[in-house]
Structure 1
């Protein structure tokens, strides 16, 4: 008998999964904008290294990038919990809690 819960390779937030997230357009645009800024910051760090900029300045920029990525993660986690997790719980899928705990542990590393 097939399980109603998808296997671990069918995780909601993994690329290539058959599940889709459903972010409101405003949230999606906000996330894309934040990621574009982070991408620019990373390119800036690469230039700083290439130009032999003082290490402390580079490390401060890396800290800013990590903080920005954490903010993106928090937005995604909140949306995931308010939509995907709630929906799966309403469907009786309690395994979503284990999945969520694994994800939270990864984010807190």
Structure 2
């Protein structure tokens, strides 16, 4: 989870952009748009979500690795589970 005010604001901005993309996609589907533009918008949303997740994972992994004296096995297992879900 982002901890600094700047990181939180960046995450919120990205989430709002994704929300806007989802709303635009909903309008496109309701309006009967062609498949090509809908698929393109889906790909853009997927990229936005993956980018946000990568940023959050980056922060999380850095936080876990900085634990002193060493990360707990539970923290390592949780982080690996998150990475596995991200890579699916």
Question: Is TM > 0.5 for Structure 1 vs Structure 2?
Answer: yes
Q: Give SS of 2:32's match.
A: coil
**Where in structure 2 are the equivalents of 1:1-109 lying within 5 Å?**
21=1, 23-83=3-63, 85-88=64-67, 90=69, 93-109=72-88
Count of residue pairs the alignment pairs up: 88
Which runs of at least 4 in structure 1 moved beyond 6 Å after TM superposition?
Answer: none
> How big is the alpha-carbon RMSD for the aligned residues of Structure 1 and Structure 2?
1.6
Higher helix share goes to which structure? 2
- State the distance in 2 between where 1:61 and 1:87 align: 38
| C-alpha distance after superposition, 1:48-107 (max 9, x if no partner) | 001100011101100000000001001100111111x13546355122222111110101
The structure, 1 or 2, with the larger RCO (C-alpha pairs under 8 Å, 6+ apart) is 2
Alpha-carbon contact 2:65-2:71 (below 8 Å) kept: no
* Structure 1 Cα separation of the partners of residues 72 and 52 of structure 2: 26
Any unmatched runs of 5+ in structure 1? 1-20
Higher Rg of the two aligned structures: 1
Query: Structure 2 regions of 5+ residues with no counterpart?
Result: none
What's the offset of the Cα at 1:40? 0.4
Pick closer, same or farther for the CA change 1:79–1:90 going to 2, 3 Å. same
TM-fit CA distance, 1:45: 0.2
State TM-score, norm by structure 1: 0.73
